[in-house]
Amino acid sequence: MKLNTHRWWRDAVIYQVYVRSFLDSTGDGIGDLAGVRAGLPYLKKLGVDGIWLSPFYPSPQHDHGYDVADYCDVDPLFGDLAEFDLLMTDARRLGVKVLLDIVPNHCSSEHPWFQEALVSAPGSAARARFHFADGRGPDGAEPPNNWHAMFGGPAWSRVTEQDGTPGQWYLHMFTPEQPDLNWRNPEVGTHFDHVLRFWLDRGVDGFRIDVAAGLYKHPDLPDSPDPEADARTRDSVNPLAWNQPEVHDVWRHWRSVCEEYTGRDGRERLLVGEVSVRTAREHAQYVRHDELHQAFFFDLLSAPWNADAFRKVISEAMQDIAGTGSTVTWVLNNHDQVRTVTRYGELGTEGSGLGAARARAAALLMLALPGAAYIYQGEELGLPEVVDLPDDVLTDPIFRRTGSRARIRDGCRVPLPWSGHASPFGFTSGVESAKPWLPQPAYFAEYATDRALADTRSFWHLYRDGLQLRAGLPQLGEGVLRWLDTQPGVLGFVRGDGLVCAVNFGTAPTPAPVSGTPLLSSGPCAPGVLPGSTAAWWISDCTNP
Ligand code: GLC
């Protein structure tokens, strides 16, 4: 068995629960905490070490909870604190860790602090918790600088002052309903200390930190040097709005709070950051030994289906992380990205199953890599992206603010199918009229968990078998990898004393790097052959054939 039980996070497999789409216990068409609790045995059976819950705090849901109006409560949509405590009790009993999603860069425009700022005068203490500034140009009618918001449009909105006149502007790097907090104001940090302790006292095992390269802005809020580049991408490229040096002090402090709790009971708490920065070196700075434990490594997720591209990002991740004290946190899917089955499909190959075969292979690859892995709900079912949602059901603010369907995020957030032949597929509590908050396509029937569990060839069994082996094999989890010399288009590596993983990125079969029958493979795999779009694991004492 693994040595690192006390440092569980270093090679943990965490399942991301997008609460509103997981399981609905009340029949209102929206998933909730009681639904998550009911699903815990399913997740335990799958074999994950823990769950990360998307934000369930009181929120007007302009960005599905990433607009928090109260950091220390549960939105009635999802339950209440008592329900949260029951969830914690069950999770503890089952040995499933629980991470919460914390959103420190911005709050909701309905947060009492922002409401107070709106009715307070320019220069007031209430406005100093945010970034309020006078506009430029005649009558201050132009935004204070040229920054773009990540979800389209300018990063500034103008308020109307109490006397009815057009007033100051406030900064929001996402939507206008998500005003950015001013972390140069010590009150903000103090508030988040309270929030961390509130949830740590309720027993949580750590936090996924939203927009962890945000928080601080350049103190003078100067113009961005390349506003066109900022507008073109959803990546954090504006060097004045992201990745300011002061943010590292926050992570050092939060780490010390976690260590304090560990000192009390020996249980390690985890901080895993959503760190979008431009270079691998910058990324590594966030996971120095006294900062975040881990930061998501998104380059695997954005790599095209290509052996060289995968090898490059994996090698870079291993190099960057070396010496930081962290381990790589691998991700193939999350609630912001097109699902792998669809992403890896190619135009003109619909129905051929190519995307699904590649997604299965990628899963085995990810589970064999050194470090931790995150699975996004539905990934274990092989759910495809729902690409044809009609405009009138789309809820992603990116669609509303850009008028474009490009890169919208609703298609990966459609509620999970659990059973049956028609929507709601067991997602809601069985009330006939309850409609899932996003419509589920009829073909979701094929992916329902009851069918997946009953079919040993399903994605579910592949993930479950991979997780089981990973938990038992000393070669997997934390450590290093050694690349094998393989044919072009094939990636192969050895873990420990002879666990070989190989992936054939091409479509034609190739000789397998190990002669015997694989321990596990993502598709049918005769001894000695590695079919196209397939990954396999072998135990071998011949590590570089
Ligand atoms: C993160 C979240 C995303 C959210 C954004 C703003 O990128 O993953 O869902 O919209 O932050 O909070």
Q: Which atom of ligand 1 is nearest to the CA of 276?
A: 7
* Residue found by looking up tokens 């009609």 in the block: 390
Give the DSSP letter of residue 85.
Answer: H
The pLDDT of residue 423: 95
What would the two tokens of residue 536 be? 């396999």
| Alpha-carbon Rg for the chain in angstroms | 24
The pLDDT of residue 408: 87
Q: Which of 249, 243, 255 is nearest to 290 (CA)?
A: 255
What would the two tokens of residue 63 be? 């960005």
> How remote is the CA of residue 234 from the centroid of ligand 1, in Å?
11
The pLDDT of residue 3: 41
Pairing between strand 510-511 and 529-530?
antiparallel
Q: Is 103 in the pocket of ligand 1 (CB under 6 A)?
A: yes
Domain map of the chain by residue range? Answer: 1-94, 112-171, 480-539
The pLDDT of residue 4: 44
Q: Where are the beta strands (DSSP E) in 332-415?
A: 372-376
> How remote is the CA of residue 211 from the centroid of ligand 1, in Å?
7
Q: Is 211 in the pocket of ligand 1 (CB under 6 A)?
A: yes
Cβ neighbours, 10 Å, residue 319: 11
Q: One-letter amino acid identity for 401?
A: R
The pLDDT of residue 228: 86
CATH homologous superfamily, domain 112-171: Oligo-1,6-glucosidase; Domain 2 (3.90.400.10)
DSSP string, 175-215: -TTSPBB-TTSHHHHHHHHHHHHHHHHTT--EEEETTTT-S
The pLDDT of residue 230: 81
Q: Is 412 in the pocket of ligand 1 (CB under 6 A)?
A: no
Q: How far apart are CA 159 and CA 504, in angstroms?
A: 56
> How remote is the CA of residue 103 from the centroid of ligand 1, in Å?
9
Q: How far apart are CA 514 and CA 244, in angstroms?
A: 48
* Arch. (CATH architecture) of 480-539: Sandwich (2.60)
Per-residue pLDDT tens digits of the chain, which is 545 residues long:
444 446 899 999 999 999 999 999 999 999 999 999 999 999 999 999 999 999 999 999 999 999 999 999 999 999 999 999 999 999 999 999 999 999 999 999 999 999 999 999 999 999 999 999 999 999 999 999 999 999 999 999 999 999 999 999 999 999 999 999 999 999 999 999 999 999 999 999 999 999 999 999 999 999 999 888 888 776 778 999 999 999 999 999 999 999 999 999 999 999 999 999 988 889 999 999 999 999 999 999 999 999 999 999 999 999 988 889 899 999 999 999 999 999 999 765 555 799 999 999 999 999 999 999 999 999 999 999 999 999 999 999 999 898 888 788 999 999 999 999 999 999 997 655 679 999 999 999 999 999 999 999 999 999 999 999 999 999 998 999 999 999 999 999 999 999 999 999 999 999 999 999 999 999 999 999 999 999 999 998 754 44
Pairing between strand 510-511 and 520-521?
unpaired
Give the DSSP letter of residue 134.
Answer: P
What would the two tokens of residue 436 be? 């899932």
Q: Is 174 in the pocket of ligand 1 (CB under 6 A)?
A: yes
Cβ neighbours, 10 Å, residue 253: 15
Q: Which of 63, 301, 374 to mutate to test the pocket of ligand 1 (most atoms within 8 A of CB)?
A: 63
Query: For residue 429, what are the β-bridge partners?
Result: none
Q: Is 336 in the pocket of ligand 1 (CB under 6 A)?
A: yes
Same fold flag, 112-171 and 480-539: no
Q: How far apart are CA 415 and CA 424, in angstroms?
A: 8
The pLDDT of residue 545: 44
Q: Enumerate residues 6+ apart whose C-beta is below 8 A from 286.
A: 212, 213, 248, 251, 273, 275, 277, 292, 295
Q: Enumerate residues 6+ apart whose C-beta is below 8 A from 374.
A: 13, 14, 15, 16, 52, 296, 329, 330, 331, 334
- Report residue 330: phi and psi, to 5°: -85, 140
The pLDDT of residue 432: 58
